Structure 1
């Protein structure tokens, strides 16, 4: 299999847009961003890191990203997962694939990026606001998951939680975030603290406003559903440690996407 997976033979490092070969200086700078991702959120964290490369200009406009083999090795992910990440970036108009002897995946020049989701991705966002909301959300969500599992749910409460999970599983893509929000709000409410529920509702509104500014990614939704199922199972089993850990990982995946697109 060739390095770029698109009928080309890109080498290591960052290639110039005119096919002049690898730019080792850029390749070295990528080490400040590229690192092996955690197994739980490989797709999301890989997307975050490559978005950072593009945003920070570590690969200049019009130049080539490292070859697929090198990127996959640096990130510690499969070539299949990497191609899904690159497909998202292509759909958002941030990179483009070129064939031929000097082909590969190239960062699009800023003037070439059209409107729509690509423009949303470059919208200004205060990094401090994003981090504040994401950290507070994680504290509340992880705490709520642990409380629910530790206190135990009645049959009626367990049925509510299962129904909320089922609704996310059956939701159409355009309606997914609404059902996702309801599942998380249900979990917060079942923790038994009205104050926690109110605070979570407020921070979730902030998070949803951010989510509306990034694309809805099918791969991410599929992954989120697996985490939702594991979370509900842990809560219903009364396993507070597992519930907290699944929720922490779930929040980290969403946070990776939001940081990648908005900061």
Structure 2
């Protein structure tokens, strides 16, 4: 964490680590297993083998964060309101940056998703997948590595959860219209218009949450 050990640097042996930290070798071995499970070290066999510092893989770390977020939503540690608020505020920041840093490739990718979403024959699963890709591209267009990492859990975890709850009560055409407004704003580099479209999409989604929950209560009541 403090940078004293560099990527690919060889760690001391188990015996040396045990002596340094005044613990048993089984304790050291267990610690090394945990570090390996977190992809922080890697092992190599042979005369020149041992345990070496590994370079963190951003994709694996982001997916781990997304999995943890999904679990927290599932067990109720993160409420739907918290989820919607966080997603909106973070996406507004991403949208503002995207109006400055987007490329033609980003615009083309979002346009392709819109064309798919307009297809009435698209299944609910395919529409949801396209929805995730649309918002993922919006985040990528912001050009900020840390925001992209943090937003991975929002887009990859919370977006599917949201879709799963409201897909029976939403109007696809409404979602597409909001997406069209977002894309147009990014094309025109109009951050204010993009933020407004995202806010309206969030409000629409919240209403569909309430409608879906009311229907669930009616069915179980």
1:136 equivalent to 2:90? Answer no
Q: Point out where structure 1 has 5 or more consecutive residues left out of the alignment.
A: 1-123
Moved over 3 A (4+): 124-128
| Superposition deviation, residue 259 in structure 1 | 3.6
1:125 Cα deviation (Å)? 8.1
Q: Does 1:153 align with 2:105?
A: no
Q: Is the 8 A contact 1:133 1:207 kept in 2?
A: no
Larger radius of gyration: 2
Can you give the 5+ residue segments of structure 2 that lack an aligned partner in the other structure?
1-73, 215-221
Tell me the residue number matched to 1:109: none
| CA shift in 2, pair 1:157/1:210, >3 Å | closer
| RMSD, aligned α-carbons | 2.5
TM-score by length of 2: 0.55
> Which residue is 1:163 aligned to?
112
Contact 1:214 1:261 in 2 (8 A): yes
Q: Contact conserved, 1:144 with 1:188, CA < 8 A, in 2?
A: yes
8 A Cα contact 1:125 1:262, kept in partner: no
SS in 1 for 2:86: helix
Equivalent in the alignment of 2:27: none
Task: Say which structure, 1 or 2, has more relative contact order (CA 8 Å, 6+ apart).
Answer: 1
More helix by share: 2
Taking a change above 3 Å as real, the CA distance of residues 238 and 208 of structure 1, as seen in their structure-2 partners, is same
Report whether the alignment pairs 1:245 with 2:196: yes
Give the total of aligned pairs. Answer: 138
TM-score by length of 1: 0.47
Residue 177 of structure 2 is matched in structure 1 by 226
Larger deviation: 245-254 or 199-208? 199-208
For 1:243 and 1:214, how far apart are their aligned partners in 2?
23
Shift of 1:148: 1.1
